[in-house]
Structure 1
């Protein structure tokens, strides 16, 4: 109840000062946002991070933010390429006739034809404009062809299959990262309670041994944080008796391993992102020509086809 009240109060003040920002205390999952949540750092960790001191939670959050950024970038490129492929498939019949071939055209052939088409679109441009546009298109074609050779992609269908594979890799990575993040968070919580239980056990013993009420209350007030941390640890252990006794060394070892796996996942996503950027070169040539004097009738892939393909990918 108080969380909802805090959200409503904060949003009223934001609206009153004309700010477009709004506070939403729902989880990303409940909001329908496809992101991995970061871990709450708390005042102590936040203080250390502001001082430039790296912490386990801070490092974990940086890994999660990097993974979210990479996955978002890759998803956007995949959507763009899928939309381009959708439009390209609609143009196949016309391209087949232009190539005067009865066989299925390969992507290199389609790219070559696009170079010719875009050259025709520049009719009426200045010589400088034509040269600049042609050189730019040629460089993009070379980059795209190099990528296609490396991945052994030659047809529209094989590129489409490759993009489906990339989408699957993103989904798999996201699932693994979320699983690791939750386990790391659980280990950090456990280690924190183990440390607090050991550090403040004597404080609690002294508190429990005091018989006079006034002295006991004074001692509790002076050691409130230590006592609260110790009692929280006791409650935690009581609720997780099936896991006792804890092996601190093994927990730290597992956390280090999971943290390393997170870094490896991010490196893998970076590699996928680089491949997706290279694949994007195949679609760049289908964009409208732009210059000081654009040729009439220069248009990109069908917007409706792109929209429908994007909806399918998001689903």
Structure 2
């Protein structure tokens, strides 16, 4: 099945990550990080079938060595919260061979990334065994955020554009510093560029499908932009995937399993509704008087047809006729409970059911987004509470002097990074100071999850509803064509009608 997955993230020191560790993991290698002294060994990681470092013309040749490249970048970046690299995860397609997938991936990377002057660390993986892994062959691309100068040295990520007054002179702020705006030196991090890459990837893969004569296609647009009511899964991240792989269930993992199950059912429902609508459209075109066609009468005729066939059986005649009677009763009771007697009423019911499905999906989508938001707030508040004592320790008298303060910060660097990161995120969400309403969040989350589950349970019977509608459609269509040709217009009239419509 064709799959679209094109995810981009950043490797940041502020989140406890390093470019060397990321490169080692993606390539399945053992690399030593000179910046923090840590060694990262992923040589036992399976699934890595191809790796390559692609260099633009102005890059030094020694950057073709993975350890040299990323250690050189790590050493150049001095800040403890430096943003180091862009990390791409892109799914390939099971419809292609392994060799085709690798070549197509390399071709896309050359055309979109390498041509823009980016250094590309490329690694191709086979699909993982865990259900939370990308279920297709996929490749990872690690790209330094910092660009290269023409001479091959590391360039600037940003440059200053000073704000000028009406006389063209620089403006000073109240603190005496020049007022300026930091402007990125590349467009690699712009949302418009990411959207262009996502679109080009879909276009590129679809062209390969077409070349091979395959009907499947992928779409870079979100479900909302495609006009679909499918629920998007939540991003899990490496830590959640590791826990799930060890058999530890997580909230994000459970939510994604539910969403996948829901979307599978939703696609089935939409497919059935589309088939029913198409049948009604065709029936209206060929019936003389569709509003006078009573479905129960046709279903009774269909039962008689089945019983005539059952009469020819050598064995099991009685059982077959009982089964036919049971089928007829179920269909008639179903129509009676829903006040459906004619084809027009049948059509109206399908349209109303389609509206119910759309409303239900929309409601669950809203709840899913709120659940995701609450889960993040709860997690951030717990981390904040856990790590706050470590940050507060710095305020004590013993760390008044720089040497002691720096030593403490180095010893607790990872904890302090996480603390300040969640503090910033809580502030952005409107929660700057304690106490955080943790119990209220947990209560609201519990209520939403219960409502979510109730709506899903109410949604499931719609699947059985549509199965019965499709069964009735099949019986009605069969009997109209085989027993009641007098209800149908002649093929000649049909042809003339279409011709008049086309002329109009």
Q: TM-score w.r.t. structure 2 length?
A: 0.47
Partner of residue 170, structure 1: 357
How many residues are paired up? Answer: 280
Q: Is the 8 A contact 1:170 1:269 kept in 2?
A: yes
More contact order relative to length (CA 8 Å, sep ≥ 6): 1
Q: TM-score w.r.t. structure 1 length?
A: 0.71
Partner of residue 65, structure 1: 260
Specify which structure has the higher proportion of helix. Answer: 1
Following TM superposition, by how much is the alpha carbon of 1:242 offset from its aligned partner in structure 2, in angstroms?
6.4
Q: Secondary structure at the match of 2:293?
A: coil
Alignment pair present for 1:233 and 2:422: yes
* Cα pair distance change 1:51/1:191, threshold 3 Å: same
Partner of residue 471, structure 2: 281
Aligned partner of 1:107 among 292, 295, 299: 295
Following TM superposition, by how much is the alpha carbon of 1:160 offset from its aligned partner in structure 2, in angstroms?
1.2
Partner of residue 8, structure 2: 3
Alignment pair present for 1:265 and 2:455: yes
Specify which structure has the higher proportion of strand. Answer: 2
Partner of residue 254, structure 1: 444
Please give the alpha-carbon distance, in whole angstroms, between the structure 2 residues aligned to 1:42 and 1:9: 15
What CA deviation, in whole Å up to 9, does each residue of 1:106-145 have, x standing for no partner? 111233445678899x9xxx9559x99x868766544322
* Cα pair distance change 1:6/1:16, threshold 3 Å: farther
Q: Secondary structure at the match of 1:37?
A: coil
Please give the alpha-carbon distance, in whole angstroms, between the structure 2 residues aligned to 1:3 and 1:57: 19
Q: Secondary structure at the match of 1:3?
A: strand
1:1-315 → structure 2 map (5 Å cutoff): 3=8, 17-19=99-101, 27-30=222-225, 34-93=229-288, 104-114=292-302, 127-128=312-313, 140-207=327-394, 209=399, 211-213=401-403, 216=406, 219-241=408-430, 246-285=436-475
Please give the alpha-carbon distance, in whole angstroms, between the structure 1 residues aligned to 2:258 and 2:89: 32
Following TM superposition, by how much is the alpha carbon of 1:181 offset from its aligned partner in structure 2, in angstroms?
0.8
Please give the alpha-carbon distance, in whole angstroms, between the structure 1 residues aligned to 2:425 and 2:90: 33
Please give the alpha-carbon distance, in whole angstroms, between the structure 2 residues aligned to 1:80 and 1:260: 33
What CA deviation, in whole Å up to 9, does each residue of 1:78-112 have, x standing for no partner? 11222222222234328x8xxxxxx8121112334
Please give the alpha-carbon distance, in whole angstroms, between the structure 1 residues aligned to 2:249 and 2:89: 34
Q: Is the 8 A contact 1:28 1:34 kept in 2?
A: yes
Following TM superposition, by how much is the alpha carbon of 1:263 offset from its aligned partner in structure 2, in angstroms?
0.4
Following TM superposition, by how much is the alpha carbon of 1:9 offset from its aligned partner in structure 2, in angstroms?
7.6
Following TM superposition, by how much is the alpha carbon of 1:199 offset from its aligned partner in structure 2, in angstroms?
0.4
Q: Secondary structure at the match of 1:109?
A: helix
Deviates more, 1:103-112 or 1:275-284: 103-112
Please give the alpha-carbon distance, in whole angstroms, between the structure 1 residues aligned to 2:90 and 2:247: 33
Q: Is the 8 A contact 1:60 1:259 kept in 2?
A: no
Please give the alpha-carbon distance, in whole angstroms, between the structure 2 residues aligned to 1:184 and 1:74: 25
Please give the alpha-carbon distance, in whole angstroms, between the structure 1 residues aligned to 2:91 and 2:269: 34
| Structure 1, unpaired ranges of 5+ | 97-102, 290-294, 296-300, 302-315
Please give the alpha-carbon distance, in whole angstroms, between the structure 2 residues aligned to 1:31 and 1:40: 20
* Cα pair distance change 1:58/1:32, threshold 3 Å: same
Please give the alpha-carbon distance, in whole angstroms, between the structure 2 residues aligned to 1:159 and 1:243: 56
Please give the alpha-carbon distance, in whole angstroms, between the structure 2 residues aligned to 1:219 and 1:15: 53
Please give the alpha-carbon distance, in whole angstroms, between the structure 1 residues aligned to 2:410 and 2:252: 30
Deviates more, 1:48-57 or 1:193-202: 48-57
Please give the alpha-carbon distance, in whole angstroms, between the structure 2 residues aligned to 1:262 and 1:109: 41
* Cα pair distance change 1:31/1:272, threshold 3 Å: closer
Structure possessing the higher radius of gyration over alpha carbons: 2
Instruction: Report the aligned-residue RMSD.
Output: 4.2
Following TM superposition, by how much is the alpha carbon of 1:3 offset from its aligned partner in structure 2, in angstroms?
3.2
